[in-house]
Amino acid sequence: MNIIDKVISVFDPQRAIDRVLAREALRQYDAASTDRLNSDWQPAYGTAEQLATGQRDIIRGRARSAEMNSDLAESAVIAVLRNVIGQGIKPQAKVRSGKGKLNGNLNAKIERAWAKWTEAKNADVRGLSNFYELQEMALRRMLYDGEILINKTAQGDYLPLSIQLIEAENIGATGMQNGKNNIINGVEVNEYGKPIAYHVYQSDPMGMRSFNTLRLTTDQAFLLFKPTRPSQIRGVSHLALVLKRIHDIDEYMDADLIAARVSACFSAFITSANSGRQIAMMQRDSKGRPNMVMAPGTVQHLRPGESVSFADPKRNAGTASEYSATQTRRISSGLGMSADIVARNINGNFSAARQNLLEDQKTFRQLQEFVIAHFCMPIWRAFIDALYLAGELPADYLVNKDKYQEVSWLAPGWSWIDPVKEVTANKEAIKSGLTTLEEVCAASGRDWEEVLEQRKLEQDRAAELGVLLDYASELQPLTDDEAQQQEGDEG
């Protein structure tokens, strides 16, 4: 009933009722119905930040509780981390010479510098985690907390760069405005809602906040979160949709365990018409409590006036497994994964397993691309900048940044379900030009250049020892002219 109906109801209640009924009759969408069956269906009005403010912290706290106490929640997150990050998403420098050929010498130099910088003492401002461990930690916090702030500090002995991860609760509003920019939940945005800076509380490792705040511009820091609405500027835990269901299944399993313990208790109760006299005559244990000994094959005679009854606690046995499986499937689907990969329980035939694997891989590839674009690339650009400041790149870097920052990322791949079929298909696809060796190797998480180098090393060593390798084809070495031309292109 809107405000007009309320005003009319004061003077003519029947007419107000007729208006409401007529409006309901004109509704064409069941989803817009407000009848008795939908009375508890609350709509969500407002921008993303209006809906999340006041609830984001509660959801994050409950998600962290699940992280510490729920094996199901941790299993789902570990499945994502294992498939998206694995041993790390690693870069391959792709700087090209003036003729468009890959500059092998410079790329190798950049990758050697990267390998050194990724060590914990260089990449992490605290010196505890290497870069690939920071990758995993950042994604873990984004899944549980919804967001993580990455600060590119100028600290570092090897290069003027190290990474600081700042947890979500340290991002807070220090005011409503900074000049013409609004500050919403600690994020300073311009008139278009574009983040300009992050206002961060200073705190010690125990979480004790000081009154000092720090303004980190988006050139220095970036917030890793996956927005789902145009108005969203802060993240919400990725477990928010399934968090209550995870809690329910944990509570159900605990309740089922208690019920099993209670049903396992065997108790007998003796009642007597002359309880005082009979109890005084009963045998007693070491603590003076009356007891009755029962053993297999024993026939126990009761005294006159006594009767015996047994406790029979009821338990709905056999439903826990079905309930757990059903809820696990719903939780997994809500996170975009199959229940098999979350519960680590592979069932079904080859076709079903392959279909689940392919669908899961689509989810993981999307997340890999997100991590590469929003976490790896900003840090790679900062690394190349730091490498130039250290005097390790040519002088024309500032006018050719895009050229020197070219890179491809090698993400973890997946093993084949049927290797013979997959290898045969890939071989034919390469021969027909539908794919490349680089794409095939990348799909399994390997570097195609390293594969060729290792294969050449094995063939040379086998020839030296006089061992025949059962290869369908042999690598063909370059001629002297081709080798000289390649060296000239790389130079």
What are 53-78's pLDDT values in tens digits?
889 999 999 999 999 999 999 999 99
Residue whose structure tokens are 């994604």: 139
For residue 201, CA distances in Å to 18, 110, 170, 198, 436 come to 57, 36, 5, 10, 49
Q: What would the pLDDT profile of 459-474 be if each residue is shown by its tens digit? A: 887 888 887 777 655 5
Of 134, 124, 152, 160, whose CA–CA distance to 220 is shortest?
Answer: 152
Assess whether pLDDT exceeds 70 at residue 356: yes
Q: One-letter amino acid identity for 387?
A: L
- Whether residue 237 contacts residue 60, with contact meaning beta carbons closer than 8 Å, is answered with yes
Q: What would the pLDDT profile of 110-142 be if each residue is shown by its tens digit? A: 999 999 999 999 999 999 999 999 999 999 999
CA–centroid distance for 93 within its chain = 27
Assess whether pLDDT exceeds 70 at residue 163: yes
Residue 17: per-residue pLDDT: 79
- Whether residue 190 contacts residue 196, with contact meaning beta carbons closer than 8 Å, is answered with yes
User: What gap in Å lies between CA 117 and CA 129, rounded to an integer?
Assistant: 12
Q: Would strands 407-410 and 306-310 be described as parallel, antiparallel, or unpaired? A: unpaired
Q: Quickly state the pLDDT bin for 384 (edges 50, 70, 90).
A: very high
User: What gap in Å lies between CA 141 and CA 144, rounded to an integer?
Assistant: 5
* Least confident segment among 152-166, 192-206, 250-264: 250-264
* Least confident segment among 246-260, 353-367, 448-462: 448-462
Helix (H, G, I), strand (E, B) or coil at 91: strand
Give 221's strand partners.
Answer: 151
Q: Which two tokens stand for residue 177?
A: 């405005």
Residue 351: per-residue pLDDT: 74
Q: Quickly state the pLDDT bin for 447 (edges 50, 70, 90).
A: confident
H/E run at residue 251: helix 243-264
User: What gap in Å lies between CA 387 and CA 9, rounded to an integer?
Assistant: 75
Give 148's strand partners.
Answer: 224
Q: One-letter amino acid identity for 325?
A: A
Beta strands in 361-457 (DSSP E): 407-410
Residue 344: per-residue pLDDT: 79
Residue 82: per-residue pLDDT: 94
CA dihedral 437, 442, 448, 454 (to 10 degrees): -120
Average pLDDT over residues 249-274: 76
Residue whose structure tokens are 């929003």: 374
Of 131, 146, 148, 118, whose CA–CA distance to 85 is shortest?
Answer: 131
Q: Which two tokens stand for residue 124?
A: 């992490």
User: What gap in Å lies between CA 266 and CA 235, rounded to an integer?
Assistant: 52
More confident position, 83 or 174: 83
- Whether residue 178 contacts residue 197, with contact meaning beta carbons closer than 8 Å, is answered with yes
Q: Which two tokens stand for residue 277?
A: 């006299």
H/E run at residue 166: strand 162-166
Q: Quickly state the pLDDT bin for 263 (edges 50, 70, 90).
A: confident
